[in-house]
Structure 1
Amino acid sequence: MVDHERWSDEQSTTTVSVDGHDLEVAYHEAGPDESEEPPVVFVHGIPTWSYLWRDIVPAVAEDRRTIALDMVGYGNSAMSDDFDRSIRAQEELLEVLLEDFAIDRIALVAHDIGGGVALRFAAHNPERVDRLVLSNAVCYDSWPVEFVSTLGLPSTAELEREELEGRLESAFVEGAYGEADPEFVAGMKAPWLTDEGHVSLVRDAVATNTNHTTEIDYGAITAETLLLWGEDDVMQPYAYAERLAEEIAETELAPLSAAYHWVPEDRSDAYADRLREFLTGAEV
């Protein structure tokens, strides 16, 4: 069994209601249930899924309960062609999921458009977020980038499967620092290489709406925040991390050199160590 298939096998599913639609959501859960600390929730971006956190979750789960979700329209969650996948809708998904799990307070770790979801949730529910970690996150008017906009064109739905796969592979290879791990690339591509996944990817890209981050009151975020940012990213440049640090009160900038956009993959060991240090308040 290949690595991403093993991750999928370890996932559980539940059904949540988002905008009046009952949607199946897949999530990967690990770590001790009895921990007194808030669970750590991981949110991915586009065009990734919870497998993005494959090397980070095991390290954090040594001490804490972890939940890495597949947003609706992504990974192994619902992909039907009848619901909104915008970050506004994904924020609602996160709210409903936490209510269903009876979780009052969390630490929130997010990447790319998952960062937009996390920023909205933290601004709208400041009492529920204990700590916030953002990595190369969309914010303000930093998105969508050209690659994602192209995915949302109607012509993308008509691509031959091989051409779609080639475009995705290029994005994951070129967006990595150094030589991309073939297991990572294969895992990131896998959800999109079915008829349903192909169409869902187009719908996910169409749903990117910059208004959903330009309207955030960033000053309303009270969580202790770590901006664990790939310093060499061109899709979500480090300058946006610096801008966030000016608006969010309790913020620490933590640039990771030799890391592009897929920073949890590029610098997985350094990322996991710095994340655990921030979550525990002590060196690991």
Structure 2
Amino acid sequence: MIEVAKVSVDGLEIAYRECGEGRPVLLIHGWPTSSFLWRNVMPGIAAHRRVIAIDLPGFGDSSKPLDRSYSFRMYERVLDGFLDALSVDELGLCVHDLGGPIGLYWASQNSARIERLALCNTLAYPELSWAAKAFLAATVTPGFRRALTSQWGLAQALRLGVSDRSRLPPDAIEGIQRPFQTAAARKALLAAGRGLSQDGLETIASWLPRVDVPVRIIYGARDRILPDIRKTVDRLVRDLPQAEVSVFDDCGHFLQEERPAELGELLGQFFE
């Protein structure tokens, strides 16, 4: 059974989901999702490990401050405090989308604590695709930024992120919309989308070739949100020659919604 709880970290309320027992695995979501994205993936991992899915600040049921910078350093402090609160030291880490750079930056500063690393349809390098640049521009452009975080825009993001809309679970759209009912929450979501610096991405790129733990890359090939995902995976494989790669040819960006059981099984086997 998945439990939902909150802890206080650095003056913020941080929500999370948790299930299973044993050595911990941390799942980090991206934009504009939350731990909700992993709800149907977690049981497959929990068959072998304690699995924790965080709601990052600005997302889900966590605090959405407007007086803080959504920077790599802020997320690093929050992840440090969050893991301390849950008595987690060494862990397996799985990241997705914007959670990739957030989690990978934290890992680059805490590499001795990472025992296994999994990556799913994520960003990892400072050279951004045209789609990522267009997204960043939209977060600061009047009209576009309002549409981006509207209830309609959030639903469209989810629909754009799957290759087969018939595979979206009935609760998926409501789950992505619910945390952003207020203007303040939507403003925080925009800030979170554009807060990460180029310097942090360069730190990640320089760290990746030094990673010496087992790595698993699992991605949906039909990714319209990160259309350069194959190029990113090819570069990751060059930097991480120990990586084992699995591809879902018929999935888009949100493979957690399209193929949750299969993804959970693969991750469970990897982290076992």
Q: TM-score, normalised by structure 2?
A: 0.88
Distance (Å, rounded) in 2 between the aligned partners of 1:156 and 1:212: 29
For 1:199, the aligned partner's letter is K
* 1:44 and 1:114 in contact (8 A); partners too: yes
Deviations 1:236-279 (A, max 9, x none): 31220110111124211111211111111122122111111111
Describe the shift of the 1:160–1:105 C-alpha distance in structure 2 as closer, same or farther (beyond 3 A).
closer
Query: Shift in Å at residue 134 of structure 1?
Result: 0.5
**Percent of residue pairs bearing the same amino acid type:** 26
Asked if structure 1 preserves the Cα contact closer than 8 Å seen for 2:160 and 2:225, the reply is no
Q: Is it true that 1:71 corresponds to 2:48 in the alignment?
A: no
How many equivalent pairs are there? Answer: 264
Please, which of 174, 185, 192 is the counterpart of residue 204 of structure 1? 192
**8 Å Cα contact 2:151-2:177 kept in structure 1:** yes
Q: Does 1:49 align with 2:17?
A: no
Distance in 1 of aligned mates of 2:266 and 2:89: 25
Give the partner amino acid of 2:245.
L
Give the Cα–Cα distance (whole angstroms) in 2 for the partners of residues 52 and 210 of structure 1.
Answer: 27
Paired residues for 1:183-262 under 5 Å:
183-216=171-204, 217-236=207-226, 237-262=229-254
* Distance (Å, rounded) in 1 between the aligned partners of 2:241 and 2:91: 19
Structure 1 residues 115, 31: CA separation in 2 closer, same or farther (over 3 Å shift)?
Answer: same
Report the counterpart of residue 83 of structure 1 in structure 2: 68
Alpha-carbon distance change, 98 to 120 in structure 1, aligned in 2, over 3 angstroms: same
Change (3 A) 1:26 1:194: same
Aligned to 2:14: 25
Equivalent position of 1:153 in the other structure: 140
Task: Tell me which of the two structures has the higher relative contact order, counting C-alpha pairs closer than 8 angstroms and 6 or more residues apart.
Answer: 2
Aligned residue in 2 for 1:273:
265
TM-score, normalised with respect to structure 1: 0.85
Paired position in structure 1 for 2:8? 15
User: Cα 1:269–1:147, aligned 2, differ >3 Å: closer, same or farther?
Assistant: farther
Distance in 2, matches of 1:156 and 1:87, equals 27
1:176-227 CA deviation, whole Å, 9 max, x = no partner? 1211334111101111122321111121123143432122221222221101
Greater shift, 140-149 or 52-61, is seen at: 140-149
**Runs of 4+ displaced beyond 4 Å:** none
Contact 2:136/2:194 (<8 A) preserved? yes
C-alpha separation in 1, matches of 2:243 and 2:214:
6
Q: Is 1:102 equivalent to 2:92 in the alignment? A: no
2:67 match: secondary structure: coil
CA distance in 2, matches of 1:153, 1:60: 38
Partners of 2:54 and 2:145 in 1: how far apart?
29
Q: Deviations for 1:38-62, whole angstroms, at most 9, x for unmatched residues?
A: 2011100001111010110122223
Q: How does 1:28-39 map to 2 (within 5 A)?
A: 28-32=17-21, 35=22, 38-39=23-24
Question: In the superposition, relative to structure 1, how do residues 147 and 66 fare at CA in structure 2: closer, same or farther (>3 Å)?
Answer: farther
Structure 2 SS opposite 1:223: coil
- Aligned counterparts of 1:175 and 1:133: Cα–Cα separation in 2: 20
Alpha-carbon distance in structure 2 between the residues aligned to 1:113 and 1:87: 11
- How big is the alpha-carbon RMSD for the aligned residues of Structure 1 and Structure 2? 2.4
Against the structure 1 CA distance between its residues 220 and 92, is the aligned structure 2 distance closer, same or farther, given a 3 Å change threshold?
farther
Is the 1:152–1:202 Cα contact (8 Å) retained in structure 2? Answer: yes
After superposition, give the CA deviation of every residue in 1:83-127 in whole Å (9 maximum; x if it has no partner).
122344223321222223332100111100111122222322221
Distance 2:197 2:34 in 1: 19
After alignment, is 204-213 or 143-152 more displaced? 143-152
* Larger displacement relative to structure 2 (245-254 or 47-56): 245-254
Structure 1: gaps of 5 or more residues: 1-5
Which SS does the other structure have where 1:98 is aligned?
helix
Task: Evaluate the alpha carbon distance shift between residue 252 and residue 54 of structure 1 in structure 2; reply closer, same or farther with a 3 A threshold.
Answer: same
